[in-house]
């Protein structure tokens, strides 16, 4: 079967305009979808569509995905081989980020792979610009504002100076 024969392709084809072919984003601020676990992609789409996670680019497309069938779209991306970001991180920043990441291990795990059972996403191989933007959004309570389950995460982000986010982002983006 060819690259377009995967079930779900016809519902997920339009995402490549921003997320790259089959979700292999090469862009710094647009996340990689290739290989994303379906539970997390589904949650993200639901949060965008309901307006809980405000993001102008994603809200309308998420409504479209819900109409088309989010399970098929999630299965399509989960079925793609994960393609870590090609954006290169500065080794010094990666080292600093690694040192600072001890505070994240309790949730995201020692390798940054997250924990589906607790609703914690895999951070590895995501583009650094995207990871940094999300940390800034958490800190300012602009990603899922008011969400009780994210209180601890946001409290932690508020203790971290903005400059350190670049290092943490570099570290997690460099993990495979």
Interacting stretch for other proteins, rule CB under 8 A, among 28-36, 99-107, 117-125, 143-151?
28-36
CB-based burial, 51-88: b 16+ in 10 Å, e otherwise? eebeeeebeebbeebbeeebebbbbbbbebebbbbebe
Please, which residues bridge with residue 120 across strands?
115
16 sits near other proteins (criterion: CB under 8 A): yes
Q: Per CB under 6 A, which of residues 27..66 are in contact with ligand HEC? A: 30-31, 33, 41, 43-45, 55, 57-58, 61, 65
Q: In angstroms, give the least distance from the CB of 13 to other proteins.
A: 5
Burial of 152 (0-12, 13-18, 19+ CB in 10 A): exposed
Verify binding: residue 95, other proteins, rule CB under 8 A: no
Is 3 a residue that touches other proteins (CB under 8 A)? yes
d(CA 12, CA 10): 6
Q: Is 160 in the site for other proteins (CB under 8 A)?
A: no
Task: Work out whether 140 is an interface residue with ligand HEC (CB under 6 A).
Answer: no
d(CA 26, CA 45): 21
DSSP 90-141: PHHHHHHHHHHGGGTHHHH-TTS--BGGGTB---TT--HHHHHHHHHHHHTT
Q: How many residues bind other proteins (CB under 8 A)?
A: 30
Where on the chain is the footprint of ligand HEC (CB under 6 A)? Answer: 12, 14-15, 17-19, 30-31, 33, 41, 43-45, 55, 57-58, 61, 65, 73, 103-104, 106-108, 119-121, 123, 126, 131, 133-135, 144, 150, 152-153, 156, 168
Where on the chain is the footprint of other proteins (CB under 8 A)? Answer: 2-4, 10-11, 13-14, 16-21, 25-30, 56-57, 59-61, 63-64, 67-68, 129, 133
């Amino acid at each position: 079967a060819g690259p377009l024969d995967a079930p779900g392709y016809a519902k997920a084809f339009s995402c490549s305009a921003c997320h790259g072919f089959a979700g292999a984003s090469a862009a710094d601020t647009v996340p990689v979808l290739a290989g994303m676990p379906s539970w997390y992609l589904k949650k993200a789409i639901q949060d965008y569509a309901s307006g809980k996670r405000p993001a102008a680019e994603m809200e309308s497309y998420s409504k479209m995905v819900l109409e088309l069938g989010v399970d098929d779209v999630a299965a399509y991306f989960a079925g793609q081989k994960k393609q870590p970001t090609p954006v290169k991180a500065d080794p010094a920043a990666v080292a600093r980020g690694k040192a600072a990441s001890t505070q994240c291990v309790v949730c995201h795990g020692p390798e940054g792979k997250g924990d589906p059972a607790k609703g914690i996403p895999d951070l590895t191989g995501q583009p650094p610009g995207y990871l940094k933007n999300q940390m800034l959004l958490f800190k300012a309570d602009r990603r899922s504002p008011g969400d009780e389950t994210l209180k601890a995460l946001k409290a932690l982000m508020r203790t971290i100076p903005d400059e350190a986010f670049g290092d943490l982002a570099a570290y997690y983006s460099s993990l495979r």
